[in-house]
Structure 1
Amino acid sequence: MPSAGVPPKSRREEYADATRQALISAAGELFASQGYQQVGIEAIARSARVTRGAFYHHFADKAELFDALVGALQEQAAAKVQAAARAAPKAKRISAGIREFLEVCCEPAYRQLVIETAPAVLGTARCREIEEAHVYGLLIDALVGPAGHNEKARANAYLAARMIGSMVCEAAQLLDNADDPVALKAEALKLVESMVGTLTPDKSRSGSARK
């Protein structure tokens, strides 16, 4: 339902939103199954059951659509991480969020599109912008904790979040071909949580994820 004071969307706006989402969903399925380079705009439009004209109404090119797809995947990942953190006891929220992030990174589509393909298509700088608007932003806020107003604390938390996130993503890629993925996952989590303890003071470790 629309929020109080916000006029409901017109049918044209609802149709436009549905078309945009259909294109993002179709692209996600095709890119995951065939690879980004192998999929053309015509195939995406056909899979979404829209015209090429409709595609270009929403996106300038395939790269812009991919950018929107990565943003959507990161938004979904952040929602899962946030839910896991909120469900955990206060002192365990960072660990719970990291564990959930590892689970997300192990999802084939996320690993392929966000971790492996996105840096090559969108560039490292743009990938960082999207990450920090979603999952990494949650981790940074959690690591800063009550010292959020302190510039130095936030800079340290940023560095720690980037390092921890990189470890999680790397672990997810290693798990794909591991002889014993269960054991490797447990060891990876132990190492990441140990790093959290090393990089953050006690008062930050008890901080909660962004609300």
Structure 2
Amino acid sequence: MARTKQQQREETMEALTATARRLFAEHGYGKVGLETIAQTAGVSKGALYHHFSSKAELFRHVLGVVQHDVGEQIARAADAAPDSWAGLLAGCRAFLAAATDPETQQIMLLDGPSVVGWQDWRELDAESSARHLAEALTGLMTEGVLAKRPVEPLVRLLSGAMNEAAVWLAHSPDPKADLAATMNTLTPMIEALR
């Protein structure tokens, strides 16, 4: 059966996204050209430009996908926990664990802030990970587990600490040991909020 133009567009977009994600993760933003992405994805350069006006725009799209995926990992970890408090801890741990994944490190933590700029990077983070954190903290305040306080500053403080730890882990010469140390430090820090 013949594919519709919409199906063709979607397939091209999926191929470009998956290929760019893999190449950006393997080589870094600066070492990947649009022509390589198009050839590897099996599409013309014109088809690539139909979807993305520049390499930076394509990277921003890929970064958004990666951050969304990390947000989903956080949500799954939190949802699997036995209660809201354990969910907050599990979500924070899931975020830090994601920071040790080489693909996430390269795209989200190493290239992301410099390619799209810190403010845009934070906006993408707010749409994914920070949103889950805000929901968790609001729920814990509603349940009476946490004292009522303004959620936005608390989200910024925790998110900032978590992002800084994630960037540190991305540059760590021993990420396994440093992740364990970070996890051990995280729990009492968050427990202090109770």
TM-score (norm 2): 0.87
Residue 154 (structure 2) aligns with: 157
Percent of residue pairs bearing the same amino acid type:
28
**Separation in 1 of the partners of 2:108 and 2:153?**
25
Q: 2:78 touches 2:91 (CA, 8 Å); kept in 1?
A: yes
Residue 173 (structure 2) aligns with: 177
| Counterpart among 89, 98, 102 of residue 82 in structure 2 | 89
Where 2:29 maps in the other structure, the secondary structure is coil
Where 2:30 maps in the other structure, the secondary structure is coil
Q: 1:86 touches 1:93 (CA, 8 Å); kept in 2?
A: yes
**Separation in 2 of the partners of 1:171 and 1:145?**
29
1:127 aligns with 2:121: yes
Q: Which amino acid aligns with 1:110?
A: T
Residue 101 (structure 1) aligns with: 95
Q: Which amino acid aligns with 1:111?
A: Q
Q: Which amino acid aligns with 1:177?
A: P
> CA offsets, 1:166-188, max 9 Å, x none?
243145225x412x834x32221
Which ranges in structure 1 are unaligned for 5 or more consecutive residues? 1-9, 203-211
Alignment of 1:6-85 (within 5 A): 11-85=4-78
Cα distance, 1:21 vs. partner? 1.4
Q: 2:67 touches 2:128 (CA, 8 Å); kept in 1?
A: yes
Moved more, 151-160 or 36-45: 151-160
**Separation in 2 of the partners of 1:155 and 1:108?**
30
**Separation in 2 of the partners of 1:46 and 1:110?**
24
TM-score (norm 1): 0.80
Cα distance, 1:130 vs. partner? 0.4
Q: Which amino acid aligns with 1:46?
A: Q
**Separation in 2 of the partners of 1:33 and 1:163?**
27
Q: Which amino acid aligns with 1:35?
A: G
**Separation in 2 of the partners of 1:76 and 1:104?**
10
> CA offsets, 1:62-108, max 9 Å, x none?
00000000000011111111111111111300111111111111000
Q: 1:85 touches 1:93 (CA, 8 Å); kept in 2?
A: yes
Q: Which amino acid aligns with 1:32?
A: A
Question: How many residues are aligned here?
Answer: 186
**Separation in 1 of the partners of 2:61 and 2:93?**
26
| Counterpart among 111, 118, 121 of residue 105 in structure 2 | 111
